[in-house]
Structure 1
Amino acid sequence: MQLCRMAGLIIKITRQFFWQLFWYNLGVELRVVLWLIQ
């Protein structure tokens, strides 16, 4: 039971981290594209 709970917590943290990284990379790419367009 405890192991299952810990696994769930790890998955949750990993998913949050992945999404933050994804949006951060998306923001950087958008900035680069806007900079190139100018």
Structure 2
Amino acid sequence: MKSQRKDSIKSISPSIQLNYKKIIYNQYLIHNNHK
């Protein structure tokens, strides 16, 4: 199930995947700033 989900994310498109990573990274920074 998990590997299947990863494959589907990869197949969407590299640009969307990059934006997705940026969003996660921004959320990660926000969480660190609030500590």
Same fold (TM over 0.5): yes
Equivalences for residues 1-38 of structure 1 within 5 A:
16-38=13-35
Greater relative contact order, per chain length (Cα 8 Å cut-off, separation 6+): 2
- Counting aligned pairs with the same residue, the percent is 8
Give the count of matched residue pairs.
25
For structure 1, which runs of at least 5 residues remain unmatched after alignment? 1-12
Q: Calculate the TM-score normalised by the size of structure 2.
A: 0.63
Instruction: Output the aligned Cα RMSD.
Output: 1.7
Q: Could you tell me which amino acid in structure 1 is paired with residue 23 of structure 2? A: L
